[in-house]
Structure 1
Amino acid sequence: MLFYALTIFLSAFLLFQVQPIIAKMILPWFGGTAAVWATCLLFFQSALLLGYFYSHGLVKRLKPKQQWILHASLLLVCLALLPITPSASWKPLTPDAPTFRILGLLAATIGLPYFLLSTTGPLIQAWYVQSNPGATPYRLFALSNLGSMLALLSYPPLIEPNLTLHHQAYVWSGGFAIFAVLCIFTGWRSYRTAVVAESVAAPEEPAPQPPTRSLYFMAIGLSAVPSMLLLSLTSHMSMDLAPIPFLWILPLALYLLTFILCFDAEGWYRRIYFLAALPFAIGAIAWLMRLDPSARPDVRICIVEYSLSFFIICMCCHGELARLKPHPKFLTGYFLMVSIGGAIGGVFVALIAPYVFNANYELPLSLACAVGIAALVLFRDEDWPFRKDLLGWPAIALFTLSALIIGGLAREMREMVSDSILVARNFYGELRVKQYEGMYDWDGHRSLVHGAINHGEEYTHPARRKEIATYYCPDTALGLVMQARSIGSVQRVAVIGLGTGTIASYSRMGDLYRFYEINPLVKKIAYEQFWYLKSAEGLIEIDMGDARLSLEREPVQNYDTIAVDAFSSDSIPVHLLTREAMLLYFHHLKPDGALAIHISNRYIDLKPVLERAANSIGKYALVVETDDDEQEKCYGTTWVLITGNKDLLDRPEFKKAGEPPKPAPWLPVWTDDYSNIYKVLK
């Protein structure tokens, strides 16, 4: 048992340890958006499905020795492909529809190693049954999920803070080499033991009953619902709550924990308690979804409520899934159905929903599916009263409660877009344009919203369309820099992040303002729904694509000012804040130019990050913080101004407005190879 357990545990650990490693490597190439993680999860689930297909076919069609020879050969081939480092040739040239490019990149980089790791769980369990007739292998499945969960939970506190991405890739590759040797040895022992077991006459036992088609369909449904909820809830929390990688790992760890509890021993899942809690869990998520961001509880409370509700729903689905376990003889087919369900959920959320829906409907749809699958489970169970008497009060109560919950979720979906004049969506997320009518005609305005964050506002009265508002008012660091320009000088300004195009209002005749924007929808909405770009006095250019990649390809631009205002919901993508990014910005700035970075954030304190980055390249930094004004026209903001021009920061208006950031020697300088967001959480 020891070698089987070690092989499964190590394979599961490596399988889930590589997920944050490779996702963090490629995140900067695709704008740093949470959608990259959702696409990675789709790839991981699809590769897992292929691995289960392979395991099922291998066990059904080949003899034990043939199984070992084929699998060992693939493992040896895989060793020649290490280490796992993505090629720079996969960097996108355009921002359009990056989903399939990400999938292709992952397939080329970690495709075969990940595929072989994904085969290990069902294959090793099948080998264990072959060499130990009559043994029950399902606790090995629980051990596999334990290894997966430990891999995820160990990454933030142990791996990420202590190893660069380069070193992470090499350490993981070394772990894979150890796994390959262990797996080959275990397979060799297994097939030799299986030959001995076959030669020993076993007492005749009645043939086990094969699983029905209905059972397989239920297994697919019970695994698809948690998979849908995993991706949709992760995306929702990243966009509306706190866009930090911890919220990518936490739901996945809980998802795996429920597998461990449900497949380790039946006592962990008590149907009557978890199904009774299911409506409350669904209601809690729906309630938090509809709350205005300003009315939500503390972020920690929200995370706990989301996590507890998600845990209950997954326990219900995976607990019922464990109750369907067939005889070990049919385990590879059973796990194949489980993986099909997981892949279906991933394809729906990551591949279909962004291109079919104009809003994030997949979360309420996932909750509705959870209600439906729970009702179906109870209805088809002959030991419960719901099916015996369709007109009795238990059945009526079940279907009434299900209908009420699903109806409430449908209403929530309608209200999600009812207050917006435009709702649009693509790979990079959902965008809304909201119209607000003021007390007076001149006070009406509209805003662009991404997730829960306002990305710019504009007054709709023709006389006020060029007024600068929100995060860019004259008292901000950006406003001070714009006003400090010498009269009559022509300015070249770069802005990373378009939004509504508010910064274009600072342009004057002869100026060049070039916006770098990765989301094609933002450009379309900025021109069609707002006037800042159309009424700008200077020349406006928009470069589509990730700003880092665009600036790397361009010749020196000699900008006077670069403004970094690229937010994915409430956070600037990390790759725009590293030392390499700073060097690139100043490569394109004039010697006396200024870099203004908008870091307003509810959850992350980026001032130490920028202090360390500025100090590492020999530049000066100034933090300028402002408060909301009484008219609610200008928002409270935090900008950091970085420049080599000491005379600019010595001006009275700058000294009065801000102060240098506090030294942060405790924080390592962030680079493209190292960053740790957990150290700067507020």
Structure 2
Amino acid sequence: MVLYSASIALSALLLFLVQPIIAKQILPWFGGGAGVWTTCMVFFQTLLLAGYGYAHWLARRLSPRQQWGLHTALLAASLVCLPIIAADRFRPAGGQDAAAAILVLLAATIGPPYFLLASTGPLLQSWLARHWPARSVYRLFALSNAGSLAGLLLFPLLIEPRYGSRAQALGWSAAYAVFALACSSAAWLAWRTTVVPTPGEPNGSFSREAGEGQDEGLGEEPGVRVAVGARAPLAWLGLSALGVVILLGATAHISQNVASVPFLWLVPLILYLLSFVLAFEGRAGHGWYSPGWGIPAALVGAMLMALGLSASRGVLDVSLSVPLYCAGVLFTCLLCHGELAARRPAASDLTRFYLMISLGGALGGIFAGLVAPRVFDSVYEFPLALCGVCVAALLAAWTRPRPDGRRRWVLCTLAAAAVLATAYWDLAFVRFLRSDVILMQRNFYGTLRVREVGEGDQQVRRLIHGVILHGEQPTRAADRMEPGSYYARSSGVGLAIQAAQQRRPAIRLGVIGLGTGTLSAYGRAADTVRFYELDPDVVAIARREFTYLTSTPATVQIALGDARLSLQQELDGGQNQRFDVLAVDAFSSDSIPVHLLTRQAIQMYTRCMADGGIIAVHISNRFLDLKPVLANLAADLGLNARLVDDDPDDESRASRSDWVLIAARRDAFEPAPFAGRVEALSPDPRVGLWTDQFNNLLAIVKSRPAPALRALWSD
């Protein structure tokens, strides 16, 4: 029993620990967006399904000796994949399908080890059921999820702050080798001590009809097969898929409006796994979930998340949204998994049960991660899933076994009201997204909208990524080439460009993040403006819907792909661009591109600059204060950092903006445009030094729940 338990716990720990390890390795390769984690989750869910399918087939079709032989051979073969370090040959080229590239990379790097780890839980539980027929194998399911929780908690609390990506991969690989030995030993033990020798007939057990809400795994009588109702597998499938769509939808929403970093990926995933533990463990194996409180809690969670989508013009303050969506994930997934636990079959059908759970998870992941971005023009899957939770709660209340009539009607009434309320707030969110829209499309990197607002001479056309403005252009021809919004002449980047143009008759301007191409409006005939853009759809929209790129007299160049990778490739190839100004403005919605704001990134930018050049970093953000981050980086690298806080009057087309200007030379800020406009920045040791291995988002959150609630109420 100890060997089985240890193998299951270790496999679960490694199964979920590898997810942030490998995702963080490849995050900078694909622009650091939320789509990276979503696509990784699709891969993990799909391979989990493959592992469960393999376990189901192995337990049903092969004898114990054959199971040991095949599984041990596969474990040995999987060691060839170690260590799990993504090879440089998988670095993406600009313009390719990012989701497909991520899936191929993951399959080649961690595919076989992850497949075998995924099969361990159901496979060892089936062996245990044959070895000790009287034991409850479902308690090992809770142990597996506890091991998964441990793996997820270890990463942000212990591993990420102390070890670099290479050390993480090597440590995980060593632990996997230990697991392979333990799992092979458990397979040998199952073969040598099995109680039921007949291949394909694992030991059965007595239980009530599946779906009656009892703990069928306890006190089973060996040798009696149980019939599973025809609708039970559909319930397993649907509940599992719904939980995954909720998880991915909430995670993407949080990441899009804060940052795509492992910490914000892992908190919802931890709560998702905790809901499994609470549903399958506790109260002598019956689980802590009860429909009496679980259904109302899930309904409240779904309604509040839907309200959060539509509140405050689609952008709920981060101090409210993160706890709201995390709590919502816990309670809505607890409903899904609690109802799963109530419908679990006897041990004789456990591999099929796990197979259907994993199939549902894979289908939910594929829908949210691959299908929805290609079918929907915005993020409709999350609002739909919230309505789905309320419908599932209604069905759960209506089909409760041995119902108390009054309680059932109360729960059904609450669920029906929640369906209507959630649908109302979801529709309000959709109406907000579609307001004044002339174009809306979605891809791996997010949702892009082109809107026209205002009337007559004041009308402007805007590009919006998520809910954040990424540039605008007046529709009146006379004003079209005048830069506005965050890029006005009074902004930090505007001052830097004007100062460079005063010094030199021809400048090279680099821009990380194309947007509408507004900064090309500064270009003179002798100037060169080089944009670095990750999203090919942004390039197409900037060329088709806006005229900055085609009307500027400057030479315009566009490098497609992640800016940091592109700049490094240019340096390695002897093509140093030697920019006079390099503008860093690659935000996606309110999400910050962390990998573009680390010590290694700033150090690389300095190598791309001409003598006296200025790096201009756009840090306007409603939720995060990035000034101390840039101040610490500049101080550590011996650079000079200045803040330009531009707060124009209401008559101007300029938007309020914050830019941090970084230069190697102090006299770079002496030209006339900077007079009285720049403010020195001082380092803040409380924030720490951001590197590729470390970044502390909590230290720079500038919003607080109480003021955010007051502001929301005043709206």
TM, length-normalised to structure 2: 0.88
Q: Which range moves more in the overlay, 283-292 or 75-84? A: 75-84
Any conservation in 1 of the 2:488–2:654 contact (CA below 8 Å)? yes
Counterpart CA distance in 2 for 1:395 and 1:647 is 70
Q: Is residue 372 of structure 1 aligned with residue 391 of structure 2? A: yes
Distance 1:395 1:303, change over 3 A: closer
> Match for residue 602 of structure 2?
582
> Match for residue 332 of structure 1?
351
The code of the aligned residue for 1:479 comes to: G
Counterpart CA distance in 2 for 1:574 and 1:202 is 53
Tell me the CA shift for residue 241 of structure 1: 5.4
> Match for residue 312 of structure 1?
331
Tell me the CA shift for residue 302 of structure 1: 2.3
The code of the aligned residue for 2:107 comes to: A
Q: How many equivalent residue pairs?
A: 673
> Match for residue 115 of structure 1?
115
> Match for residue 279 of structure 1?
299
> Match for residue 124 of structure 1?
124
> Match for residue 262 of structure 1?
279
Residue aligned with 1:442, SS = helix
One of 441, 448, 454 as aligned partner of 2:463: 448
Q: Is residue 475 of structure 1 aligned with residue 490 of structure 2? A: yes
> Match for residue 323 of structure 1?
342
Residue aligned with 1:226, SS = helix
> Match for residue 660 of structure 2?
640
Counterpart CA distance in 1 for 2:672 and 2:76 is 68
> Match for residue 490 of structure 1?
506
Q: Is residue 354 of structure 1 aligned with residue 373 of structure 2? A: yes
> Match for residue 64 of structure 2?
64
Counterpart CA distance in 2 for 1:202 and 1:287 is 47
Any conservation in 2 of the 1:32–1:568 contact (CA below 8 Å)? no
Counterpart CA distance in 1 for 2:412 and 2:107 is 49
Counterpart CA distance in 1 for 2:312 and 2:260 is 17
Any conservation in 2 of the 1:161–1:676 contact (CA below 8 Å)? no
> Match for residue 531 of structure 1?
547
Q: Is residue 158 of structure 1 aligned with residue 158 of structure 2? A: yes
Q: Is residue 178 of structure 1 aligned with residue 178 of structure 2? A: yes
Tell me the CA shift for residue 486 of structure 1: 2.3
The code of the aligned residue for 1:585 comes to: Y
Identity, % of aligned positions:
42
Distance 1:300 1:150, change over 3 A: farther
Counterpart CA distance in 2 for 1:480 and 1:398 is 58
Counterpart CA distance in 2 for 1:155 and 1:628 is 44
Q: Which range moves more in the overlay, 373-382 or 313-322? A: 373-382
Tell me the CA shift for residue 627 of structure 1: 2.9
Any conservation in 2 of the 1:495–1:563 contact (CA below 8 Å)? yes
Counterpart CA distance in 2 for 1:273 and 1:396 is 13
Distance 1:186 1:214, change over 3 A: same
* Aligned pairs for 1:47-62 within 5 A: 47-62=47-62
Tell me the CA shift for residue 12 of structure 1: 0.9
The code of the aligned residue for 1:61 comes to: R
Residue aligned with 2:617, SS = strand
Give per-residue Cα distances to partners, 1:152-196, cap 9 Å, x unaligned: 223222221111111111111122122222222333333323259
| Aligned-CA RMSD value | 2.8
One of 679, 683, 696 as aligned partner of 1:663: 683
Residue aligned with 1:314, SS = helix
Tell me the CA shift for residue 22 of structure 1: 0.6
The code of the aligned residue for 1:176 comes to: Y
> Match for residue 472 of structure 2?
457
> Match for residue 24 of structure 2?
24
Distance 1:376 1:483, change over 3 A: same
> Match for residue 232 of structure 1?
249
The code of the aligned residue for 2:555 comes to: L
TM, length-normalised to structure 1: 0.92
Runs of 5+ in structure 2 lacking a partner?
Answer: 206-220, 703-715
Give per-residue Cα distances to partners, 1:583-636, cap 9 Å, x unaligned: 432333212222111122233333343344434544322232333533363333
Counterpart CA distance in 2 for 1:671 and 1:249 is 20
Distance 1:666 1:305, change over 3 A: closer
Residue aligned with 1:301, SS = helix
Give per-residue Cα distances to partners, 1:233-283, cap 9 Å, x unaligned: 211222245655433111111110110000003351110222233333222
The code of the aligned residue for 1:20 comes to: P
The code of the aligned residue for 1:238 comes to: S
The code of the aligned residue for 2:653 comes to: K
Runs of 5+ in structure 1 lacking a partner?
Answer: none
Residue aligned with 1:252, SS = helix
> Match for residue 425 of structure 1?
442
Q: Is residue 559 of structure 1 aligned with residue 579 of structure 2? A: yes
Tell me the CA shift for residue 63 of structure 1: 1.9
Tell me the CA shift for residue 411 of structure 1: 2.9
Any conservation in 2 of the 1:562–1:595 contact (CA below 8 Å)? yes
Distance 1:603 1:256, change over 3 A: same
Residue aligned with 1:145, SS = helix
Q: Which range moves more in the overlay, 145-154 or 101-110? A: 145-154
Counterpart CA distance in 2 for 1:202 and 1:477 is 72
> Match for residue 230 of structure 2?
213
One of 247, 258, 277 as aligned partner of 2:264: 247
Tell me the CA shift for residue 405 of structure 1: 4.8
Counterpart CA distance in 1 for 2:699 and 2:177 is 32
The code of the aligned residue for 2:552 comes to: A
Counterpart CA distance in 1 for 2:262 and 2:461 is 31
Counterpart CA distance in 1 for 2:485 and 2:411 is 54
Any conservation in 1 of the 2:686–2:699 contact (CA below 8 Å)? no
Structure 1 residue runs of 4 or more that deviate by more than 6 Å after TM superposition: 201-204, 392-396
Q: Which range moves more in the overlay, 135-144 or 455-464? A: 455-464
Counterpart CA distance in 1 for 2:543 and 2:337 is 48
Any conservation in 2 of the 1:621–1:661 contact (CA below 8 Å)? yes
Any conservation in 2 of the 1:14–1:151 contact (CA below 8 Å)? yes
Residue aligned with 2:531, SS = strand
Counterpart CA distance in 1 for 2:259 and 2:639 is 30
Tell me the CA shift for residue 209 of structure 1: 1.4
Counterpart CA distance in 1 for 2:430 and 2:701 is 35
The code of the aligned residue for 1:426 comes to: N
